[in-house]
Amino acid sequence: MTQSSEEIVSPAPKRGCRAFVIGCLVLLALAAAGGAWLLQRYTGFSDRPIAGLQAGDSVVVASGDSFPGVLRKLRAAGVDQGQDLEWRTLARQLDVAGSLKVGEYALAPGLTPRQLLLNMRNGKVINYRFTIVEGWNIRQLRAAINAATPLLHETTALDDAALMTLLGHAGQHPEGRFLPETYVYSRGDSDADVLRRAHDAMEKVLAEAWSARARDVPLKSADEALILASIIEKETGLASERPQIAGVFARRLKLGMKLQTDPTVIYGIGSTYDGNIRRRDLLTDTPYNTYTRAGLTPTPIAMPGIDALRAAVNPAQGDALFFVALGDGSGSHVFSPTLDGHNAAVARYLQQLRRPALPQEEPQQ
């Protein structure tokens, strides 16, 4: 018996279905073409340098600013490149809109929209610098920080005592308490912020120096080390000489000799010092006159740097008890173990001062 076979025939597709498929393909092609055009336009906007920017231009993102608000600030600053939609699209792509960091951002020539928004997302703000110079006293430091911009000024109207209270160190004398260093800050920071950092830095460095002091150093505390370091700082600008000068002062302290150092007398004169130190100044007693009083001064007389601090607690060995400037313009000193030797060095120094300056050579024609 034979078995009959049945032919299975697929039904023909309907015309409407074919039209739908063709339409989808056309739309996809158009979308691809349009997407390519949009991508080309978008990429050109995001990576094209913003026109018209000048060195020194900036924009500030304040606390609470939304991205539309920042975009308005950019427009006000002269950024007219691109449509708002392009900026918002780029901001969404880079996840900037909800991640804006407060601060001031440079609008430097050559900057692209992408770079600017990434800076705002990553907090790459403009940094400013304030330098405390080795040997400054508190008056000089306060005058300099009062003039620093764009720091916010919280301390200008305060006296020294109120300043130290604000910084959290009520009752502490401010002299010598701020480490000479360059401090980086950004717009929105205050002078009190910088001074707190400088005070903290000095406390750290002073503690490290004191913990590494020589066993026989004639100092009772870290505060005394700070005072001696400030005197050393004012006596020489040569780092190589600071341990030697520290050695002279250490030996004098051990022997009960007066330090007899001019910078302490000058500090005691105060703001009336006119640049000349006279014999009557050496004889006029003040708490800072080390010609009339033995031992260290009651407070530091300047802001000492790290080298001076280290020298104060690790003075050089030797037998010198005196020193005087060489007088040749190098800043170097002559060290002597005896008064006779010192007097001879002083005589040479005075002779050097009286020597007429050599005439300068005429320039070659």
Minimal CA–CA distance to 66: which of 58, 57, 74? 74
Q: Which residues contact 44 (CB under 8 A, 6 or more apart)?
A: none
Q: Is the pLDDT of residue 328 over 90?
A: no
pLDDT per residue as tens digits for the range 144-162: 999 999 999 999 999 999 9
Label residue 314 by pLDDT band (50, 70, 90).
Answer: very high
* Residue range 51-77: mean pLDDT, rounded: 94
Q: Is the pLDDT of residue 218 over 60?
A: yes
Helix spans in the chain (H): 15-46, 67-76, 84-93, 113-122, 138-146, 160-166, 191-211, 222-235, 242-255, 262-269, 279-283, 306-313, 339-354
* Residue range 223-229: mean pLDDT, rounded: 98
Across the chain, mean pLDDT equals 88
Minimal CA–CA distance to 213: which of 224, 203, 202? 224
How far is the C-alpha of 7 from the C-alpha of 229, rounded, in Å? 109
How far is the C-alpha of 99 from the C-alpha of 121, rounded, in Å? 5
- How is residue 170 annotated by DSSP? T
Q: Is the pLDDT of residue 37 over 70?
A: no
Q: Is the pLDDT of residue 19 over 70?
A: no
Give the pLDDT confidence score for residue 6 in this predicted structure: 40
Three-class SS state of 192: helix
Query: Among 238-242, 243-247, 302-306, 313-317, which is the least confidently predicted range?
Result: 238-242
Give the pLDDT confidence score for residue 32 in this predicted structure: 44
Give the pLDDT confidence score for residue 360 in this predicted structure: 53
How far is the C-alpha of 258 from the C-alpha of 264, rounded, in Å? 12
How far is the C-alpha of 156 from the C-alpha of 152, rounded, in Å? 10
Are 175 and 302 in contact by the 8 Å Cβ rule? The answer is: yes
pLDDT per residue as tens digits for the range 240-274: 999 999 999 999 999 999 999 999 999 999 989 99
Three-class SS state of 305: coil
Give the pLDDT confidence score for residue 326 in this predicted structure: 85
Minimal CA–CA distance to 306: which of 200, 201, 224? 201
pLDDT per residue as tens digits for the range 101-144: 999 999 999 999 999 999 999 999 999 999 999 999 999 999 99
Q: Is the pLDDT of residue 34 over 60?
A: no
Are 118 and 141 in contact by the 8 Å Cβ rule? The answer is: no
- How is residue 263 annotated by DSSP? H
What's at 103, amino acid-wise? G
pLDDT per residue as tens digits for the range 73-103: 999 999 999 999 999 999 999 999 889 999 9
